[in-house]
Amino acid sequence: MDKKQILLAIESSCDETAAAIVQDDFTVISSVVSSQIALHAKYGGVVPGIASRQHVVAMNGVIKETLEKAKATPEELSAVAVTVGPGLPGSLATGISAAKALCLAWSKPFVAVNHLEGHLFSAELDGAKVEFPAIYLLVSGGHCMIVYAAERGKYKLLGTTRDDSVGEAYDKVARELGFEYPGGPIIDKLSLQGKDSYTLPRPMLEQGYDFSFSGLKSAVRREIDKGNIVKEDIATSFVVASMDVLSTKLRKAVKEYNPHSVIVVGGVSKSPILRSKLTDGSLGKVNVIFPSLKYSTDNAAMIGAAGWWQFKTNGASSDNIPMMPNLSLPLADRKVDDL
């Protein structure tokens, strides 16, 4: 049997310090995620200074642990891949510096990876097969976008949020209801116990593929300000409204682009409600694919898969590449130097 190649991937764009060893066929050999959630919970959101400090604390331990779990040595690595953006500057800097230092010390190629593209590749880890053309729905704490890909890596951004991402709206509604960060999973669970009894808006429902979630979040706040709310019911009404928006836009994209697959990635794709809503047949005959739950939220395995693809199609990246906090998705006319 021919020996598979492996790379080390590092992710530190927000509040997860993560490292993984990934094979060139996207099989995950080891994946370690050190979450900072407990440090940020009481502040109601990620505090950038605390996040970068904790990445500095955790980084070496996470890298050592993933190498040990994979029983891999530095000599066996084909490259080191790392998220260079988008994300929090101080958080990104820690992972990028670690990756550049390891590449220098071990004489390995450096591979710069776009975090958003990492999420798109999360559905292809561990042997999952994706058929193109595909429509992606990326729903996370930082992003909400619909993307068309005629083939792997050739992206056309159909729509994105004009204000809050859907995960951010979940977290803010949770905070209004008195729950700690990140409240998305709590709201999702609570919504199973309530009734859709509040009338909430579906912003931009019929307007192309762009989203807006801040109006929905404000409408929830206005209901809360009236007093006497039933938390379960407000959670249900909010989740139903959000799901309506996401599924309506996806249906429109499927109709227009007729893809083989619909791929739903990012933290909010963990939601069992979203998973069942999008697999109830309402999208038509298309194959609906989700990453396994452990790869829905931020992790380095997805950076490893995107890194392999980047490395094999474009080669190593320049090691004087800076961090790119506002990086967007590479679009269909990507040039060799683009991510």
The encoded tokens of residue 147 equal 């993307």
Residues 96 and 319: their CA atoms lie apart, in Å, by 10
CA angle (300 as vertex; 299, 306 as ends), nearest 5: 115
**What part of residues 168-187 is at the interface with ligand KG4 (CB under 6 A)?**
170-171, 182, 184-185
| Residue 71 Rama label (left phi>0; alpha psi -120 to 50; beta) | left
Considering only 83, 91, 237, 271, the residue that binds ligand KG4 (CB under 6 A) is 271
d(CA 76, CA 104): 15
Backbone angles phi, psi at 233, to 5 degrees: -70, -40
140 binds Zn ion (CB under 5 A): yes
Please report how close the Cβ of residue 238 comes to Zn ion at its closest, in angstroms.
Answer: 22
What is the pattern of x (binds Zn ion, CB under 5 A) and - over residues 289-308?
Answer: ---------x----------
Among 176, 188, 223, 233, binds ligand KG4 (CB under 6 A): 188
**Does the protein bind ligand KG4 through residue 161 (CB under 6 A)?**
no
By CB neighbour count within 10 A (0-12 exposed, 13-18 middle, 19+ buried), where does 35 fall? Answer: middle
Cα(207)–Cα(39) distance, integer angstroms: 39
Only segment of 34-42, 136-144, 251-259, 306-314 that touches ligand KG4 (CB under 6 A): 136-144
Give the binding-site size for ligand KG4 (rule: CB under 6 A). Answer: 18
**Candidate segments 73-81, 122-130, 136-144, 157-165, binder of Zn ion by CB under 5 A:** 136-144
- Write out the residues near Zn ion by the rule CB under 5 A: 140, 298
- Write out the residues near ligand KG4 by the rule CB under 6 A: 14, 140-142, 167, 170-171, 182, 184-185, 188, 266-268, 270-271, 297-298
